[in-house]
Amino acid sequence: MLSGSLLRLACFALVAATASCGRNDARTIVFAASSLTEAFEELAREFESSAAGGRIELHFAGTPTLVLQLREGAPGAVLASADAAQMQRAAALGLLGGDAEVFGRNRLVIAVAGGNPEGVEGPDDLARPGLRVALCGPDVPAGSYAREALTRAGVEPAPVSDEPSVRSLVGKIALGELDAGIVYRTDVAAHAGRVEAIEFEAADRVRPAYTIAPLTARAEGPATAGASGARTPDRTGALFVDFVLSSEGREILERHGFEAP
């Protein structure tokens, strides 16, 4: 009963989906939190051109999504997490092939549209009626950090949305759909001009830490991953972890707004 054009579209989709299934087992894929996007793209470029380096592929998503994908058998060599709790979950699932180390810290800021048209000065303003404020959902690291900071500041705003990631939150501020939100300082840098960061004192007491760890050679899904313990980690992956932790890696991270651990 559906029209022919619809059926043809469905066929195209199927062909496109199967064409991209080709799988190369030699790949070294780094699973990284989405707030690390620009920094890790540069880290990977520098690593690939260094003497020790091999080819790196980057995969970005919210940390809980990364852990879920790894749990279901996604082939990752390294996990860079924005959230200590999620790294512990990965460890409990037997996914890690080495110790997790803190490689950088971020800082929460209040993000507002460029020029700060609503005159937001601090957390107190976020509870102002009529102001469209959103946070990341409580399950997203940035969302739980933001709620912690607001509790410490004694402010209880009524967000109009629990956004799924800092990137979508800051994007909606850049578009002018939201008046304010709490994001990482590094996310504002990506929207320079259209979004402004306002530092606030309570952020000093919540300092999001980023951890990195090599993964076991191939996570085989939930059944075997828990039982088999640590296996040999991917060599290129281990070298990349060392590079991120090196002084050269730290320099790149600092250039993107991350603080030293």
Partner 1 sequence: MDVRRPLALPLLVPALVAALFLAAPLVGLALRAPWSTVLERATSDPLLAALRLSLVTSTWSAALAFVLGVPLAAWLASGRSPARTLVRILVTLPLVLPPVVAGVALLLAFGRAGLLGGSIELLFGAALPFTTLGVVVAQTYVALPFLVLAAETGLRGVDRNVQDAARTLGAGPWRVFRTVTLPLARPALGAGLLVAWARALGEFGATITFAGSLEGTTRTLPLAVYAALEREPDAAIALSLVLVAVSALVLFLLRRRWFPGSTGQDAAPEGGAR
Q: 105, 128, 172, 231: which one contacts partner 1 (CB under 8 A)?
A: 172
Long-range contacts of 206-209 (CB under 8 A, 24+ apart): 206/108, 206/145, 206/148, 206/149, 206/152, 207/105, 207/106, 207/107, 208/82, 208/83, 208/105, 208/106, 208/107, 208/108, 208/141, 208/142, 208/145, 208/184, 209/84, 209/102, 209/104, 209/105, 209/261
Site for partner 1 contains 73 (CB under 8 A) = no
Residue span 2-31 as binding mask against partner 1, x where in contact by CB under 8 A, dash where not: xxxxx--x----------------------
Q: Apex CA 227: angle with CA 226 and CA 230, to 5°?
A: 80
Residue span 94-133 as binding mask against partner 1, x where in contact by CB under 8 A, dash where not: --------------------------------------x-
CA dist 229 and 224 (Å) reads 9
Site for partner 1 contains 65 (CB under 8 A) = yes
Stretch that binds partner 1, among 21-29, 97-105, 169-177, 244-252 (CB under 8 A): 169-177
User: Of 195, 210, 202, 203, which is closest to residue 259 (Cα–Cα)?
Assistant: 210
Q: What is the closest distance, in whole angstroms, from the C-beta atom of residue 204 to partner 1 in the complex?
A: 27
Q: 76, 104, 159, 249: which one contacts partner 1 (CB under 8 A)?
A: 159
Site for partner 1 contains 190 (CB under 8 A) = no
Residues that bind partner 1 (CB under 8 A): 1-6, 9, 62, 64-65, 68, 71, 132, 134, 137, 139-140, 159-164, 168, 172, 175-177
